[in-house]
Structure 1
Amino acid sequence: MTKKTHRRWPRVVGWTAGVLSAMAIGGTVWWQSQLNAIRHLTVRQTDIATVFIPGYNSNSWTFSPMIQRFDRYGIATDAMTINVSANGHLAITRRAALNQRNPLINIIFADARNPEKQTTQLHRIMTKLYTDYGVHQINLVGHSMGGFLATRYITQPPTAQQPAVVRFVNIASGGARADSDLADFPKNIAVLAIGGNIWGTRSDWQVPLASVQHFAKTIPQAKLITITGSPLTAYHSALHQNPQVDRDIAQFLFH
């Protein structure tokens, strides 16, 4: 290494560190500004549990951050996590009562690439919530394939020992493979559909906005919200990490 190169190296390191530091500060400021959407949000507190159903190849980080934000700002309560093993065993962690303060239930599937298996597991979960925990009414929040799983549960009438659905939030999902799958969708369930539109491309870069719009049009009582912005706010997986989406969901579920 020449003396000239040796002298230049500390400058490069210092410049890089400065840029990274500025980016980190800028990102923190931007995120804090995003949180203003829910930081002082006031909603009605009910005893209806909200069940979160993640999408294809999901993990604990799909809905955990949203649930934690709801809990942190007093919007709802992080009440229960249900980890479903590949063979269907349910490991349930309960942190709060399920009959007050907008209780939230997060489902995490170990095998998140098998919708047929997940459909069966979801029905088992619902029966357990009803019989063992006294959960007789629920809201559903589904992302991507989770929206399909939620729609399947809704359109296949629950047994006498499964919770009835009051409200349904369908994020970044067409909700069903065909319109015929929606023919039996109950008209008494309030529905909110949320789609992403990155930079006017009419897509969240995973699901076309037209698919979400079609779902909302097919369900007469459905309300549609389009999130238009950059990939940071409107990308398929960014939608459930966006505090503005948090606000829309909270105002819909807990109004």
Structure 2
Amino acid sequence: MKNTISKKKVFSVGAMLILAFSLIYISFKSQIAESKENTSGTQSNIPTVFVHGYKGTYNSFKTMLYRFEQNGWGKKELVVYVSAEGEITWKGALHPDPKLPPLVQIVFEKNKASIAETSTRLQSVMKGLKDKFGVEQVYLVGHSMGGLVSTNYLESTKSNGEYPKTLKFSVIGSPFDGISSESYHQVNTGEAIIDLKPDSDALNSLVKKRESFPADIEVMAIAGSGDQVVDVDSAFAIQSIVNEESLQKHLIEDQSIGHSGLHETEKVDKLLKKFLWN
């Protein structure tokens, strides 16, 4: 009888130990999985290239990239300056094994040039990224006309192995149907203004060449209800170029956030973070 009770106690203790070890193991595995999920987005070595818009400068994406660094979402490793003559100056370098997603900022000195001319300059930068730094894949972010320039670049270089392959592409307040405000065209100058008019040859060309837009790119378009320069319909008109299944659209419903404010708000930061590195 005592042996039977003793055996039952041993069995009970053994069962409890097995259960305890099982729970510890499950908890450990869960923590590992959660850790991988939380850090997977920050382990990417794919550079994200930022293209400013009409009259853009170094300051256009300066504070956004600073916020990304402060949040630990990425690190600005390279600033690329393109002179009015097309000469490229590289400030910084891309680390071969980055701990955070590398951020690349392009600054065009000739910031009122046409979509076609700026797109050609972008091609030179992208080719340089591959030739000089061995970049095979990129993410691409364009604000305002920078989104149009980037679209033209993508349509012009589809399947061309001389350039890095673009995996993800986000446009922020980009006027794919042009800027309808008459006052905007009255106070601004440059070749780009012609391209930014509704129904311009440059904008129509982007739609005509939509078959050349890479079908496998994930695309996100962001518009703002408070954008007094680019209306929501124009910002979402990229849907005339990009396949519906590849496109996601987000509207920032905040009247206090204007056109330039779209790259100054954490609301857009979070959308980009989730889209690019989640």
Quote the residue 2:252 is aligned against: 227
More helix, by proportion: 2
- Report Cα offsets for 1:24-64 as digits up to 9, x if no partner: xxxxxxxxxxxxxxxxx964420111100000011111111
Structure 1 residue identity aligned to 2:123: H
Contact 1:45–1:76 under 8 Å retained in 2:
no
Contact 1:54–1:63 under 8 Å retained in 2:
yes
Q: Secondary structure at the match of 1:169?
A: strand
Structure 1 residue identity aligned to 2:165: A
1:250 matched to 2:251:
no
Report the Cα distance in structure 2 between the residues aligned to 1:192 and 1:68, rounded to whole angstroms. 22
Contact 1:78–1:95 under 8 Å retained in 2:
no
What are the equivalent positions in structure 2 for 1:16-95 lying under 5 Å apart? 43-94=41-92
Quote the residue 1:184 is aligned against: 212
Quote the residue 1:154 is aligned against: 154
Q: Secondary structure at the match of 2:273?
A: helix
Contact 2:42–2:74 under 8 Å retained in 1:
no
Report the Cα distance in structure 1 between the residues aligned to 2:236 and 2:142, rounded to whole angstroms. 16
- Number of residue pairs aligned between Structure 1 and Structure 2: 208
Quote the residue 1:240 is aligned against: 263
Quote the residue 2:223 is aligned against: 195
Deviation at 1:95, TM superposition (A): 5.3
Quote the residue 2:231 is aligned against: 208
CA 1:196/1:107 → structure 2, altered by over 3 Å: closer, same or farther? same
What are the equivalent positions in structure 2 for 1:102-141 lying under 5 Å apart? 102-115=101-114, 116-141=116-141
State the identity %.
30
CA 1:180/1:99 → structure 2, altered by over 3 Å: closer, same or farther? farther
Quote the residue 1:36 is aligned against: none
Deviation at 1:182, TM superposition (A): 2.4
Q: Secondary structure at the match of 2:209?
A: helix
Q: Secondary structure at the match of 1:127?
A: helix
Quote the residue 1:165 is aligned against: 166
Report the Cα distance in structure 1 between the residues aligned to 2:82 and 2:173, rounded to whole angstroms. 23
Report the Cα distance in structure 2 between the residues aligned to 1:98 and 1:59, rounded to whole angstroms. 28
Contact 1:85–1:111 under 8 Å retained in 2:
yes
CA 1:85/1:98 → structure 2, altered by over 3 Å: closer, same or farther? farther
Deviation at 1:99, TM superposition (A): 4.5
Contact 1:50–1:105 under 8 Å retained in 2:
yes
Q: Which runs of 5+ in 1 are unaligned?
A: 1-40, 199-203
Report the Cα distance in structure 2 between the residues aligned to 1:59 and 1:185, rounded to whole angstroms. 27
Q: Secondary structure at the match of 2:106?
A: strand
- Report Cα offsets for 1:143-198 as digits up to 9, x if no partner: 11100111011112253221010000011013471322323222210000000102
Contact 1:193–1:216 under 8 Å retained in 2:
no
- Which entry has the higher C-alpha Rg, 1 or 2? 2
Contact 1:54–1:62 under 8 Å retained in 2:
yes
TM-score (norm 2): 0.71
Contact 2:52–2:106 under 8 Å retained in 1:
yes
Report the Cα distance in structure 1 between the residues aligned to 2:221 and 2:131, rounded to whole angstroms. 30
TM-score (norm 1): 0.77
Q: Which runs of 5+ in 2 are unaligned?
A: 1-37, 177-201
Deviation at 1:87, TM superposition (A): 0.8
Q: CA RMSD in A?
A: 1.8
Contact 1:154–1:186 under 8 Å retained in 2:
yes
